[in-house]
Every structure is written in structure tokens, then in C-alpha cells.
Chains A and B, each alone.
Chain A
């Protein structure tokens, strides 16, 4: 079954998600956790784009290669691409916020080790 490009891209995305989760669960340094979340985020985006891929078709842009009349049979699904466009931008906003909070936490405790932040522990 693992023959199409979409399958390989999706598998790569899933692997990236798993790497990201592993990094976020096992690292104790806040910056490393943020990097891990970015990797998982990229994996999700790759999986989403892979869902829209269709064999033998081209990008959803109408030009000389894709005349309007047979666009339906020539282009791949544009909806996942629009979704991923949104997801990338929101992911960047989330990353910037995580970094800002990590900086504030560092200012407070002079450490990035998550194990040192025990206020919410019970």
C-alpha cells in the first residue's frame, strides 16, 4: 500500500509529530520543549497537506497549464492548503507567546528547568 507520494509524506508527518511529542514529554528545558512543539506542529501541517494531494494533478492555480474548463480534473484539493496556511500563521503566534512566557519564567526563577517550577504541583 505504501506506494503513493501522499502516503510517504503522511508517514513523514506522523514521524515528526511523534518526535515532537517525545521531545516535549522527555525534555525538562522549556526552550527544548518549545522546539519540540514546533516540530510536532510542522508534522501536523505536513499530514494536512498530504491529505489534499492527488496523484497526477497539479497546484490549484489557474494558468496556461490548467485551463479553467478542466480545472476539476487537473488540480489537487485546495481546501487543506488554505487550512495549513492558517495553521502555520497561528502556530507562529503560539510559538511567539510560548517564548515570551518562557522568558518571563526565566526572569522570575533564573532557570529554564520545568522541574523547578513547582507552584502548580500538588
Chain B
């Protein structure tokens, strides 16, 4: 027990040091009274340049659209790595020390509830990413909601198989269209991922802000299928 206690003491000392840094940061923190230069630019120009009611969406999809493309790529790579790591060598069926347990039945409530709720959850996810330029929400949030619907399906029926092929097709097509729209912006509008490929329209309407609703819907589909494929890979290892 002795080395563990020493280790814990060292950990606590380190934490005390980090905590002291945090306390001094907190003591010296003064909230801004005015928007800083970047935020002021976004607040002033979003309505006329981008036409989204939600300024965060304008930043994520258009002003810093390239970063979002990178982010989606990172997510894709991590989903791919999860699939790759888990695909190599499944758990052997009868290993000593891990007896095959009989599955606990999921119960009437969960199986009926999942049938009722999954379509509604998918609908909510689609609503969230289609309205990403108007309300709090967007492709990432909507995609996560869609994946939570998939999680409910998996909870209700742990042996359920999702079609990896379908997930892959949705993911690749939405990713390609995302990049394709970006390149079209390079040719027919101001630059890569410029949203003024389509008319900006009236602030606050569903069909406004150029291609942002389109791009965010594609991001929503891509993120939703990536999360679903991660869930599917993780759940399939359980079946062994």
C-alpha cells in the first residue's frame, strides 16, 4: 500500500499546483464590457454578409468553414480508427474467466418505447440541423441527436445489426457533397465554402443564408452516420 499512498500524495501536490494557477487566473479575470475586435466584426457583418440569424453558425460554417471541414475529417478519422481497431480479432467465444452470461431481456417498456420514440428522435435531429442557421443547433447537434436515436435502438435490441454499407454510403456522399459545394463556391462565388452560391434571402427565413442550410444538413448526416458507425462497431464487439 505504501507506494500507492506516495503516488497519491504526488498527484495531490501536482493538483495543488495546477489549482493555484487556476485560482490566480480566476482572481485576475475581468469579464469584457465590450465585444472584442473579432466578435464585433462578426456581430456587425453577419446579417448582411452571411444572412444567418445564428451568428455561431455563420462562424462555424462560413467564416471558419475550412476548420469545420477539418473537424469533420478528424471525426471521420476517429470513427475509422474505432472501426479498424475493433474489427481486428473478435473476442473469443468461450474464454475461461468470462462465462457466457444469458442475456437479460430488455423489457416491454424499452422495446415498445424505442419503437415509438426513434422516429421522433430522428425527426428532431433533422429539424435541429435544417434550422441550424436560425436557432441554436446545427449539423453537429442534429447528428448527435440522430445517433442517440440509434443508441436507443441498440439498447432495445443489442443484437441489432445496422447496415454498415448504408452508413458508409450516406457518410461518403454527404462528405463529397460538402467538399463539392465548397469547390463550387471557389468557382462561382467569393471563395472556398462561400455561402453566396445561392441568394442570401431574408434574415430569419428557412430558405435563406445561401448554401448554409444545405451544408449544415450534409454535416448533420455525416456526423450522424459517423457516430452511428462508432456505436455499431462498439456494440458488435459485444456479440462474440
Residues of A within 8 A of B (CB): 1, 4, 6-7, 10-11, 14, 17-18, 21-22, 25-26, 53-55, 59-63, 68, 71-72, 75, 77-79, 81-82, 85-86, 88-90, 92-94, 96-97, 99-101, 103-104, 107, 110
Contact = CB atoms under 8 A, between A and B. Distances in A.
Interface residues of B, number: 65
B78 A96 contact: yes
Interface stretch (B42-50, B151-159, B176-184): B42-50
A10 B29 contact: yes
Contact of B91 (A22, A90, A92, A107): A107
9 contacts: A1-B27, A26-B11, A75-B55, A78-B55, A97-B85, A100-B82, A103-B237, A104-B85, A110-B97
Contacts, number: 145
Given A62-B47, A62-B55, A71-B44, A96 B31 contact: no
B32 to A, nearest CB: 6
A97 B26 CA distance: 33
B15 interface: yes
Given A54-B33, A100-B86, A79 B71 contact: no
Contacts of A6: 29, 31
A100 B144 CA distance: 19
